Amino acid sequence: MATSLLVRTLRWLRTSRAGHLGVPLVGAVVLVIGAAGPLPGIAVVAVGVGLVAAWATSVLVRTALAIHHRDSSFTACRGAGFIGMGALATGATLASTVTASAATRPVLACVGTGVSALLFCIGTVLLPGAATSIAVRLRRGFDGLGLGVSLGFAAWLAPPLGETPRAALAAALCAAAGVAIIVVTVLRAAAHRRAAIRCGAGTVAVVLGLYVQTTLLAHQVTGPALVLAALPIVAGLGLAVDGATRLEPLPAYPPEPETEKHLAGYPLLALPAAVGVLAAIYHLVTVGEFDPTSIVLGIAMVSILTMRELLAVADIRRYAGKLAGQEAHFRSLVAGATDLTLVIDERLTVQWQSPAAARLFGLADADVVGRAFVDLIHPDDAADVRAVLDDVLAGHQHAGPPALVAARLCDGFGIWRDTESTISDQRGVPEVAALVVHVRDVGERKHLERALHTLSYTDQLTGLANRRALMRDLEERRAAPGRPGALLVIDLHGVAEINDARGRQVGDAVLVEVGRRLRSLMGEHDVAARLGGDEFAVLTADGAVLAYALGTRIITDLTAPYMMPGTIVPLHASVGLAEVSAGSGVDDVLRQADLARKRAEQLGRDRVEWYDTDLEAQLNRRMDLEREITGAASRGELDLVYQPVQSLRDGHTVAVEALLRWRHPTLGTIMPAELLPIAASVGVAGDIGEWVIDAACRQLARWQVLDPELSMSVNVAPRELLAPAFPTRVGAALVAHGINPEKLVVEVAETWVAEDVPAVVAALAALRNLGVRAALDDFGAGQASLAHLRRLPVDMLKLDRSLARGTGPATPLGGQAVIDVVVSLGRRLGLEIVAEGLETQEQVDRARDAGCPFGQGFALSPPSPAERVEAYLEEHRTTSN
């Protein structure tokens, strides 16, 4: 039972952390008790130290094996194992002295001290972080060995130690060398420094304790003093075990290589070497000769110092080669870099420039080195550069990124180059102790930026400003107080037709010529821009009145014929004008000018319109009408009124003219002058014309019951007349309502006949084949020639109201002669003559006196609804009967 308890207790002490303190305490207790007991001191020391040494060996070896099996790359396993072997050697050394004779005990102790010191030194240098490479371990070993041998040599030559037993002196040398190696190694440990110091302190205590034991045995001291002198050995073994087992695995990333600032270790070796030399000189002066032992120690000291010097020289050469390689690498990087590197001192004087200066900027060292950095900068940029440099020197840029400054730098050819420089404060680096400036040539980038900026604000076809540039300038013009200005928006008419008929190449050439003409009209502060397609704009600094005059000149120049290769191209233009100061912003100014431009287009093109609030109201009304006209016929909003055509002899109604009206539910009655252009722009003129013909034929069929001789006149729009299916639709309406084709008269306005006479002749001829008669409306208002009149297959002339009034362009003197000639001409051509727009009795008399048989106008009968005309016809038929 007692044996089992003892085994479990030892196992617990061996495996638990408490064993690091418990076993050494047990050993210390054994030594203290044995010092006062009857047992021999040598036996007590062997038992006490042997117990602790066996425990230390077991713990350290098990630790080394456990770490080795867990991670074969872990370097601590070898260090802990060798320290364990040193503990085993310590215990074996003291145990062997029990049975040895008094003469051999010092020798055994001396040998054990040397073996233990060697194993402890090997284990210490193999601890993790103590030494990172074989070269470093060799340096540590020679540093410690040289220190120990030098001190031992000086101690050997000292007079008081001259008669010390040789075993004690040898143990002292071994202990000194071992202690020096261990101390140097643990004090320079790169990692796990605390654990290394614990372990090193323990091994140092053991080695010194063994030396004391050897010395006491050499003097044949075997009493309590020998036992108490073993206490440091017990404590040292416990401390070594605690330090060696506290080591942790190496980090995932290995530590950086040791710096080379302690390569030679001269401060460590110089003092003991100097002590050894002084001791040798003193001994030579006082004694005059050296014994063999001192000669051997001196040779060993010199040899060790020489080996250490050779290692230092090898390290220095390797380090010098490394520095040379790094310098060459650095020079190659700097020489091949695309940046110029300058080093300037605190007085802003250039101390060094990179070799790239000549290649990149044509700057020689003589041109730059020794000059102030600011002297190389353009005078306009020098103040900004100096301010940035002052901030860097004041430490304001210390925590942030390197300061960046843009400036122009003079190169070796006297050309100012656009550069960007980063300024880094390297005054805190001893090897530099200056400001480092990296200069980069950004001239090409600046050129590209300017080119891109120009492209982004320029129309690529015409070279004028684009919409973006116009809006920018318009914003700047609005921000300038007290400056007048106006915006003109120009819309060209006919470019699309040119592209379709002659190709886009000709169309682009026309647009280029438009840009040239606009530039020729611009003043110094005016801006011409192309907004897109065939839309242009002009921003002028003049007031609204002068801007209107400029718009008139623009119309004149842009509508002049364009002489293109092989052709002459005509264009029309509409110009809208708005004041820059009007509106809530630049978009509103552009919108107002565009609204004015639309109004100019609606009023007949080739004109300039000035924006005002009434204009916007008119445009809003037009947009409302354009939006709602599409379904006007299906909603029953279209209506016809009829104006009788009477005989000027007896007042008999011979025909009626159907006049279109749009009865809008909110805007009231829309007259044809406003309705028909809207219908044409929306594209529903053909549908409305078809509805008019159908409604007129339906009404004529009803009235022919009252008056079979009555005819109906219908106004036809140009697009409707020239449509291929128009004759077919007219014929279908006549058949559907049973109308005699001769009773339907299609009226065509003279003002647009001359635009395409062959097409009009063909369309009227197709109607004549159906039996439908044709009338030339508003005759005398246009410029139709007599040849056109003779070619047109018309049956009737409806004279413009200006002829009856005597105020038309054909009657500059106003009188009866012109209407007489026109009526006579119509008779000679066999045409019926109707005088339109008779509003006074005087005009009726004038038409009658000229021989005109029929008349139409408010003086005879105003346009009336169908019911009123029907009542009139019934009354007339009753009166006739």
Q: What is the CATH number of the domain that holds 408?
A: 3.30.450.20
Cα–Cα distance measured from residue 801 to residue 806, given in angstroms and rounded to the nearest whole number: 9
Phi and psi, residue 470, nearest 5°: -65, -45
pLDDT tens, position by position, 276-320: 777 777 767 777 667 776 677 677 766 666 776 676 677 777 777
User: Which tens digits make up the pLDDT trace of 372-419?
Assistant: 888 888 888 888 888 888 888 887 665 567 778 888 888 888 888 888
Point out which residues pair with 642 in neighbouring strands. Answer: 658, 864
Nearest-angstrom CA–CA distance, 765 and 744: 15
Asked if residue 620 belongs to a domain, the reply is no
Domain final position from 611, 639, 666: 611
Q: Is residue 745 part of a domain?
A: yes
Number of domains in the chain: 4
Instruction: Give the C-alpha separation, 701 to 866, whole Å.
Output: 12
Average confidence (pLDDT) over 705-730: 87
H-helix or E-strand spanning residue 564:
strand 562-564
Say which range, 81-85, 630-634, 662-666, 714-718, has the weakest mean pLDDT.
81-85
715 shares a domain with 661: yes
Distance CA(207)–CA(112), nearest Å, equals 10
pTM listed for this prediction: 0.48
Same domain, 655 and 594: no
Return all residues near 214 (Cβ < 8 A) that are at least 6 apart: 106, 109, 110, 113, 167, 168, 171
Q: Please check the confidence at residue 813 and state whether its pLDDT lies above 50.
A: no
| 296 and 169 Cβ atoms separated by less than 8 Å | no
State whether 823 and 682 are in the same domain. yes
Taken as a whole, the chain contains a residue count of 881
For residues 477 and 539, is the Cβ–Cβ distance under 8 A?
Answer: yes
**Which pLDDT belongs to residue 259?**
45
Q: How far is CA 573 from the centre of its chain?
A: 43
Two tokens at 179? Answer: 């202690």
What CATH number is attached to the domain comprising 842? 3.20.20.450
Spatial CB neighbours of 68, under 8 Å, sequence gap ≥ 6: 74, 77
Closest among 742, 751, 667 to 711, alpha carbons compared: 742
Q: Looking at residues 551-557, what average pLDDT do you find? A: 93
Tokens of 669: 């009655």
Question: For the chain, how big is the Rg over CA atoms in Å?
Answer: 61
> pLDDT confidence of 850, banded at 50, 70, 90?
confident
**Highest averaged pLDDT of the listed ranges 100-104, 227-231, 433-437, 504-508:** 504-508
Query: Which range has highest mean pLDDT (62-71, 184-193, 242-251, 450-459)?
Result: 450-459
Q: Which two tokens stand for residue 604?
A: 């007949």
DSSP structural state of residue 259: P
Give the helix ranges, DSSP H, for 229-345. 231-245, 266-286, 292-336
Same domain? For 173 and 32 the reply is: yes
Evaluate whether 79 touches 127 at the Cβ level (below 8 Å). yes
Last residue of a domain, one of 448, 470, 485: 448
Rounded CA separation 323/327 (Å)? 6
pLDDT of 253 > 50? The answer is no
865 and 754 share one domain: yes
* Local confidence band at 515 (pLDDT 50, 70, 90 cut-offs): very high
Read off the DSSP letter of residue 349: B
Per-residue pLDDT band for 155 (boundaries 50, 70, 90) equals low
* CATH number of the structural domain spanning residue 550: 3.30.70.270
Sign for the CA dihedral angle at 48, 54, 55, 56 comes to positive
The C-alpha angle with vertex 455 and arms to 449 and 461, in degrees rounded to 5, equals: 160
Chosen domain end from 578, 611, 644: 611
Tell me, yes or no, whether 422 and 474 share the same domain: no
In 559-664, alpha helices (H): 586-602, 613-628
Phi, psi (deg, nearest 5) at residue 609: -120, 140
Distance (Å, whole) CA 549 – CA 551:
5
Question: What kind and span of H or E run contains 418?
Answer: strand 416-425
pLDDT band at 265; cut points 50, 70, 90: very low
Same domain, residue pair 765 and 825: yes
pLDDT at 812: 43
Nearest one of 388, 381, 389 to 417, comparing CA atoms: 381
- Which conformational region is residue 23 in: left (phi greater than 0), alpha (psi within -120 to 50 degrees), or beta? alpha
In a domain, 322, yes or no: no
- Residue 134 has a pLDDT of 67
Q: What is the DSSP letter of 291?
A: -
**CA-based nearest residue to 772, from 799, 800, 735, 798:** 735
Torsion sign, CA atoms 816, 821, 827, 833:
negative
Residue 738 in domain:
yes
Per the domain annotation, does 621 fall within a domain? no
Residues 466 and 408 in one domain: no
Please give the residue range of the domain that contains residue 426.
Answer: 337-448
User: What is the Cβ-side half-sphere exposure of residue 806, based on CA atoms within 13 angstroms?
Assistant: 14
Average of per-residue pLDDT values in the chain: 79
The answer as to whether 294 is a domain residue is yes
Asked if the structure places residue 456 within a domain, the reply is no
Distance CA 85, CA 72 (A): 20
Shared-domain flag, residues 509 and 579: yes
443, 479: one domain: no
Of the candidates 416, 393, 397, 415, the residue with the CA atom closest to the CA atom of residue 406: 416
Tell whether 325 is covered by a domain: no
Percent of all residues in the chain with a pLDDT value above 90, rounded to a whole number: 14
- Work out the percent of the chain whose per-residue pLDDT is above 70: 79
How many other CB atoms are there within 10 angstroms of residue 605's CB atom? 16
At 158-214, the pLDDT tens digits run: 655 445 676 777 777 777 777 777 777 777 665 666 777 777 788 888 888 887 877
Query: Do 418 and 318 contact (CB within 8 A), yes or no?
Result: no
Which residue in the block uniquely carries the two structure tokens 């308890």?
5
Looking at the structure, tell me whether residues 432 and 563 fall in a common domain: no
| Residue with tokens 């470019």, as numbered in its chain | 495
- Claim to verify: residue 582 and residue 479 sit in the same structural domain: yes
